[in-house]
Amino acid sequence: MTTPRLSILVPSPTTPFAWQNKPEAEVTKPMGAGGAPTPTNATQGAPDSPAGTAPSGPLGLLSMLWPILLIFGLMWLLVIRPERKRQKELEKVRSELKKGDRVLLNAGMVGVIAQVTDDWIVVEIADKVRVQFQKGAVAQVLEVKDKEKAEATAK
């Protein structure tokens, strides 16, 4: 009479989680009396290191760091790089401000530049109403079609 066999997934030191095991990691153990597995030699038993420990050595460290490096790389491509590009464009626009430009300020006001100095601009927001702002307060320079659109919404 043959004894029934039970297939058990045993985690290896490099793959501590059962879902990471591959079919070659299966170990067949003979069934003892009462359906319990019989003890086998140490080569078929549990691995030498506990299941929760990480692999050691330089490759173990690299395997733990690559997800962090991947996330940082994605953040660089999707967030940091485009934001730096926008900041450079905005600095270029602010350095090219001149009298007569129609600008949108960070405060939400729209006006025409009446005077420009090194760090400051004077913006006319209504007839004979002039306000002084730093150049950093300029959000964007409005073009002619933006001017027409702004006047249409104001009416």
Contact 25, 15 (CB under 8 A): yes
Q: What is the pLDDT of residues 114-142, one digit of tens each?
A: 999 999 999 999 999 999 999 999 999 99
In angstroms, how far apart are the furthest CA atoms of the chain? 108
- The pLDDT of residue 25: 46
Q: What is the pLDDT of residues 16-60, one digit of tens each?
A: 555 555 555 455 555 556 555 555 554 444 455 555 565 566 777
**Contacting residues for 48 by C-beta, under 8 A, at least 6 apart:** 13
d(CA 91, CA 88): 5
d(CA 153, CA 136): 26
User: pTM of this prediction?
Assistant: 0.49
Residues 70-84 have a mean pLDDT of 93
**Type of residue numbered 55:** P
Distances from the Cα of 65 to the Cαs of 51, 54, 62, 109, in angstroms? 20, 12, 5, 48
Alpha carbon of residue 81 to chain centroid:
11
